[in-house]
Structures are given as C-alpha cells and as structure tokens.
Structure 1
C-alpha cells in the first residue's frame, strides 16, 4: 500500500524574507558529489582501511562496511521520512528543533558547527603533507605543510564565496577522477586474482567475527562522515522532498559498496595473511604500495596526486556544509543577522563562508606556530572531535524522528518511522559507545585529550541551549 504524507507543519518556521534564502539548482547527482567528496574516498582508503584491517577484524573488515551501511540506511529511513515536515535548510538541528524544541535544536546546531569546523581544519594537516609530496614528485623543492595548506585555503575561500554550482562541478570532477583510478585498481586486482586467489573473508562468518569486530566497526563508521549532510542543501536543491531522500540513499549505497569492494580487493591483492601483515607494519604506504604493484610507477604517481585532490575535495565539501549551518542559525538571529544575507549575484552564504574561513585560518596559524605535527596531532585531534560529534548528531536526530512520529505516523508505515529508526538508534548508540571507549587511542593515546574533546562538545551543546532559550524568550517578548 502506498504511503500518504500529511502536509508539513510550518509552525516555528524561520524568517522567509526575500533577502535571507540561498539560491541554487542542485539535482541528486550534484548533492551526491558533495557528500561523497566529504567522505574523502582516497583518504579513507589510504588511512582508515589499513587501520581497520590491522586493528579490527582483519580479512573480515570489508564486511563491516556492509554492516555500517545497513545501520545508516535504517537511520536514513526515518531521517528522510521527516524531511517534508522540516521547513528549513538546517539539517540535523532543524530536525531536532522541529521535534524536541528550539533550545535543544540550537544546542545540536552548535555541536554541528564545532564538529564540521574541526574536520575542515584538521584535514588541512593531511593535505599539507600530501601536497608537499606532490610538489616533490613534480621535481620541486620540499615545502612546509602549512604553505600548501595556505594555498588550498585561499582556493577554498574563493569557491565558498561563489555559487554552490561551481563547487559542485569542481567536486564532481575530482571525485570522478579518484573513483575511476580506484575502480581501475580494483578491477586489475580482481582480474589477476591476487597471490592466493580472491579473499573469502568478506562472506566468511569466522573471519568477520575474528579479531576485534568492535574496532573494525568503529573504523567503518568513521569512513561515512559527511553522508548525513544532504539536507543542509535543501534551499539550493531542486524539489527537495524528492532530491534529498534520493541523494541520501544513493550516497550511502555508493560509499558502502565502494569501500567494501575496495577493501576486499586490497586484501585479495596481497593475500589474507600478507594483507594483515602489511596493514599492521606498513599501513601508511599500503595504498601506494598496492597501486605500484598492480598499476606500476605511473599508477602510483597518479594515486599520489589524486590523494591530494581527494583531501581538497573533502575540505571544500565540509566548508560548504558548515557555512550553511552558520547561515541557517543567522537566519534565526541566533548568530549575527548580517551573516544570513546571501551574495547578490551568486546566491551563496558568502559572509558565513568568510566567518568559517577566519576560524580555520586561526587554527592553521596556531598549529604552525606551536609546531604541531600536521597528521599525528593537528589532524588526529580534530578528527577525534568530529568522530564523536557526528555520531552524537545522528543519535539526537534519530531520537527526534522517533518522538516526532510517536503519536502520528502521518501516513507512513510503522516500519518506516518507528521500527527502522529505533533499530538505527540502537546501532548508533553502540557505535558511540565504541568510539568513547576507544577515543583516547584514536587521538594519540591521551585520555586527557579525549576528555577535553568530549568537554568541548558538551560545552558547545550547553552554550547552544542557553542561546536558544534566550532567543526564544526574546521572540515571545517581541511577538
């Protein structure tokens, strides 16, 4: 039986004045490019996958991507069911605000800003190192990481000022290039069959449950960061009630299949035992070593360049996301209202974009001045905050969906708006528990730093609730 959807509840909608709405014409493909680019496929393949194989469940690690995809699809069923009833492009905070109240929604919004700002800033550390390698590959001199980061920062700031269509085209080209080279690598490995034939770990229950399954699932979950941002482009999407759900499902399936197949191919390429050994002892070079073995020196060089562009695409995608969070909050006068006026020609949140650029610039400068290691410290610390923050955002949104549909299913099936979101919430809570238990290891072995990260996110939530409550009271007084 087909599901009928009731009309959206527009109570509490944001200001809709003609000067405070973003403009765009994004289709499903453009939004998918944005969110998949944020996941940084080559960055995950070069960094997270070796860790998952080495510290997780070894040759069974490819199957954890299938499990993670299933959990996120359960989340997405409720998330997209609520989309027609959310009247603004505020992504997670708009869903929470609609269901759990304005102050809680603003608290979640502040957590989101800290979360996405952290990953945008932190990835500059990896990008700086990768860019230095590209310069040397081209015969140039050794350059400091922060110099490469500064150049990439200038390009990102420029693109953030322009229309979203320009960013989507840039991301589309970069994403297609990195997916193409990895697809070629996977195909060559599968055709050649590897040293010991194709691995069966992806379908072998004994392999999947071997080692530390929880750690494996943790690294798989981290690899999806960014897919949940589809709804933030609501104002710039064509027919958002159709575009947003389709983009969400397609992004999830593409990410899950891509990572599962690639990880399985990498394990097959070296053989089960050798793949685990190399991931453990030589994880940092597993991607380039695999490319050199199956595609030759030229293929390895191409991978090196595309790894750099993948990180840039990730930064640009998250810059667009966090700029739109700031814009959405400023539309509600939670942040300065001046930030909520789009560019007169490009329709972009150019002032919010510059605001975010200033915060990122400050973090890069601080890292350079204090001599932080761009990967082991600058990136790792910031990525730890993002890992916790994203799962917290999704847990809050799942709870908001369940509360919203608790009394009225609004024409949806029980499975769509109650059972699936509840199962997704259970999976997300399990993932959050794993992350918190292992957070000190994720950020370099410091339990103090782990507690600082949690404290910052809690503080952001508390500040957001306080500001949201004050703004709500001010609205009522002036009404």
Structure 2
C-alpha cells in the first residue's frame, strides 16, 4: 500500500503522508482527543437545551432509554470504524473511509457532505452562542444592559480563530478545562436531585425498555443522536496523535461510552427532578427554562445563574471543537487535491494546519456578518435549520461509512481474518441498517426537526445537492487531473 502521494503544501513544498506526520504537532493522547470530542458534544448545551426538546417531541419520559439505545448503536458503529482505521491512514475521517470502501466518486461526495455538516454546525453554534451570551449579560445586569446577540457571536468567532490557529494542544487544554467544569456542574445538579429523592421519589420507570415501544420512540432516538455529532472526529486527529493506531481506537470507544452514559444518567436525573407525571408538560411549556429551573429548585437561584454561565462556556467549547474538526477536514481535502492545495500549509512554529484554520475562520466570519445584516432570528432562522441540516448530513455519512466498512472487508479475506467476521462484517452491517432506518426517519420527519416544512425540504435538497457537487468534483478530477484522482485511494 503506497503512502507517498505528494501534494503541494504551500510554503513548505511537497509533502507526503509521512512528512505530514513529522510536521504536525504529535502531542495528542487519548485524554486530549477525548476532551475535544466530548466538548464538541457540548454536555451542558445538550442537557439544558436538547433534552427538554427531546422530551416534548417524543411525548415520552423514555429519554434515558433513547440515549442508551443511541449509545449502543454508536458503539456498534465504532466496532467496524475502529477495525478499518488500521488500514485508513488518511485523517479525513468519514470521507476517507467511504472512498476506501465505496470508491472515489462516493468518497468525494461524502467529503462534500462532511464539509456541509460541519460548516452548518459552525454557523449554528456561533448564532446560539450569541443568544446565550446576550441572555447571560442581561441576567447578570438585571436587564440594564441589552447588547445585540451578533456582537457576542463575532467575539466568539475571533477568539476561536486565534485558538484554532495555534498549537492544537492549546485548544485541547482550553476544552479540557471547560469540559470538566460544565460536566461537574451538571453532575452536581444530578446528585442534588438524587440526594433530595426527586420530585416524587426516585423511580427507574424512565429506564424501562418498554419505552422503546412508545409512539414517539423513533423521534426520541433521532433527537438523541444529535447529542453525539462529532464523536467520529477522533480519526480526524490521526496525524496529531502520539500513537494513532492505539490512541484513535481507544478515544473512539471512550467517546461514545462517556458521552452516552453521561447523557443517560443526566436524563434519568432530570426526569426525576420534575417527576415523571409532569415532565412532558413542563418540557413543552418552557423548554428553555426546564433544566435551569431544576437547578434553581434543588440548589437555589445562584446555581441556576451558574448553569447559565456554563451554558455559554459550553457553547464556546463546542464552537472551538467544531472549528478544529472542520479545519482538519479542510486540511485533509487540500492535501489530497480536492480543495486548493494552499490549504494544506502547516505552520512552522505552531505545527498546526494554519491555512485551513484561517479559511474556516474567514468563512465563519462572513457567514455571521451576513446573518447579522439579514435580520434573521438567530435561533429559529439560523440555529435550528443549521442543526437540522447537519443532523441529516451526519446520519447519511454514518450510513455510508457503515456500508463502506462492510464493502472494504468483504473484498479481502485476509482483512476479515484479522478482525473476524463479527467485527468486520456483522457489526458494521447492523450499524448500516440502523443508520439507513434513521436516514429515512429523519427525512420523513424533517418538519419536526427544523420546525417548518419548506425549510425542511430545503435542507433535504441542500444535502442531496452537496453530495452531487462532491461527485461532480470527482468527475472533473478524473478528466482534468488524473494523477490526483488516482491518488485519492492512497489511504
């Protein structure tokens, strides 16, 4: 297997995969990657923002079971993903795996989907940060200061741009500090609920498998998957890991398990915090204040304000994590000749993919300025459609990756023997079935996901269009830059 397809790395000249490994910072261990991936999952934002919505949409108290089921599905996905990582040296994550199993055309199509998903998430999270930041300042000043939301968004873009440009270990340290703090805050609330015996006494009813038969269970699982977006990014940091063949698999399994168990436990605690009989009605009536009110009830108004502060820091951590992932997607695509090769430039001092980072920052800045000038509502018109778009693209990518793993191992008996049929065929096949079903489910319920049928249809169209654009790029590469096209399978 060749590993020497050179690409133009800008000011640093030609660079092959081995040279990339030597040039980029190689200081990331399992803990550092875990911090960045879990930070992207934004635990505080999910608990305070997504969980109440999930309860209301599913019309069920089975939220803990839905998170647990989502965790099992993602661990099942990870089995094939990790097995294939032994053979995929490219740090392009989803698209690298898809093209290795399903060919260059589908792979480049998948790369366009990945870019679309993370670009949408970047824009959505910056908009959400603006709202959360403006609300926090208003709460801290008793309403005396009312600053425009977009000011906070632009500040967030600027700070993320600086950190994203620097050494990746700096980002991992910042994310680690924020993650530990926000996780502790949520756990303090969880244990306060447990210590007080909940609203009506502690109950395991919300953990009953029977909730999987509820009418809203499919929607519940669909929304639960939202909380895991970005967990596959362990592979994106392959070239910056100390020992990628050991670090990436461990970080992948740990990410899925840690995120899933934390969500399951917190979901169970907040259901008990308001009582199963009241949970759905309260979540529908006041989704934004649902969890903050639980904090105030069990720990006082001061703690509720503290939760609001960490909701802002959690959103910032999420923005930084997504920026880093998007940067490395761009770097990998540039190194493979799909994007302009100048974006594969590595900073001489920081050992970071600095050119790709600058490009992501500029794109984010332009997008946020455009949103601010348009007068769109940052929550209803930006964040919600952006998350819906990212969710659909992400689930399609998960389905394609699972199918790719099956195809990859099915072609080579020696590979199957290395990992066994269970890990190389059966697990990824079951994962593929699960994500194909989820793709159908998300598409059929797109109006619920984004709040408007017209917007939902636009989201579906944008997802399909991005994939077609990617495949068109592959066709152009094949006809105009044959050497680059052939080199795409240099995994």
TM-score relative to the length of structure 2:
0.92
Contact 1:78 1:420 in 2 (8 A): yes
Once the two structures are superposed, what CA deviation does each residue of 1:85-142 show, in whole Å capped at 9, x if it has no partner?
Answer: 0121111111112222223211111110111010011111111111112222332611
Shift of 1:57: 4.9
Q: Does structure 1 residue 325 correspond to structure 2 residue 332?
A: no
Change (3 A) 1:85 1:474: farther
Deviates more, 1:109-118 or 1:200-209: 200-209
Contact 2:59 2:280 in 1 (8 A): no
SS in structure 2 of the partner of residue 25 of structure 1: coil
Number of aligned residue pairs: 470
Change (3 A) 1:373 1:436: same
Counterpart in 2 of 1:412?
419
- Partner residue of 2:313 out of 306, 309, 312: 309
Contact 1:24 1:165 in 2 (8 A): no
Q: Does structure 1 residue 466 correspond to structure 2 residue 472?
A: yes
Q: Does structure 1 residue 135 correspond to structure 2 residue 142?
A: no
Q: Does structure 1 residue 391 correspond to structure 2 residue 392?
A: no
Q: Does structure 1 residue 180 correspond to structure 2 residue 184?
A: yes
Structure 1: stretches of 5+ with no match in the other structure: 1-8
SS in structure 2 of the partner of residue 167 of structure 1: helix
Shift of 1:46: 1.4
Shift of 1:475: 4.7
Change (3 A) 1:207 1:112: closer
Counterpart in 2 of 1:250?
254
Contact 2:128 2:379 in 1 (8 A): yes
Shift of 1:22: 2.9
Deviates more, 1:328-337 or 1:137-146: 137-146
Shift of 1:476: 3.7
SS in structure 2 of the partner of residue 82 of structure 1: helix
Q: Does structure 1 residue 435 correspond to structure 2 residue 439?
A: no
SS in structure 2 of the partner of residue 88 of structure 1: coil
Give the distance between the partners of 2:134 and 2:204, measured in 1 at CA: 38
The 5 A counterparts of 1:19-58 are 22-58=24-60
Give the distance between the partners of 2:209 and 2:93, measured in 1 at CA: 37
Contact 1:59 1:208 in 2 (8 A): no
Q: Does structure 1 residue 197 correspond to structure 2 residue 210?
A: no
Change (3 A) 1:338 1:438: same
Give the distance between the partners of 1:145 and 1:353, measured in 2 at CA: 24
Shift of 1:468: 2.1
Once the two structures are superposed, what CA deviation does each residue of 1:152-184 show, in whole Å capped at 9, x if it has no partner?
Answer: 111001011101100000000000000001111
Shift of 1:284: 1.3
Once the two structures are superposed, what CA deviation does each residue of 1:422-476 show, in whole Å capped at 9, x if it has no partner?
Answer: 111111112111111111222122x222222122222221221222233244454
Change (3 A) 1:43 1:472: same
Contact 1:57 1:209 in 2 (8 A): no
Deviates more, 1:424-433 or 1:54-63: 54-63
Counterpart in 1 of 2:460?
454
Shift of 1:233: 0.4
The 5 A counterparts of 1:416-427 are 416-427=423-434
- Partner residue of 1:77 out of 54, 73, 79: 79
Shift of 1:342: 0.8
Counterpart in 2 of 1:117?
119
TM-score relative to the length of structure 1:
0.94
Shift of 1:203: 3.1
Shift of 1:276: 1.9
Deviates more, 1:293-302 or 1:201-210: 201-210
Once the two structures are superposed, what CA deviation does each residue of 1:190-245 show, in whole Å capped at 9, x if it has no partner?
Answer: 11111211122233244443341111111111111111111000000111111111
The 5 A counterparts of 1:271-420 are 271-407=275-411, 408=413, 409-420=416-427
- Partner residue of 1:65 out of 64, 67, 74: 67
Give the distance between the partners of 1:12 and 1:199, measured in 2 at CA: 58
Contact 1:102 1:469 in 2 (8 A): no
Give the distance between the partners of 2:356 and 2:6, measured in 1 at CA: 17
Give the distance between the partners of 1:64 and 1:11, measured in 2 at CA: 42
Cα RMSD (Å) of the superposition? 1.7
Contact 2:327 2:356 in 1 (8 A): yes
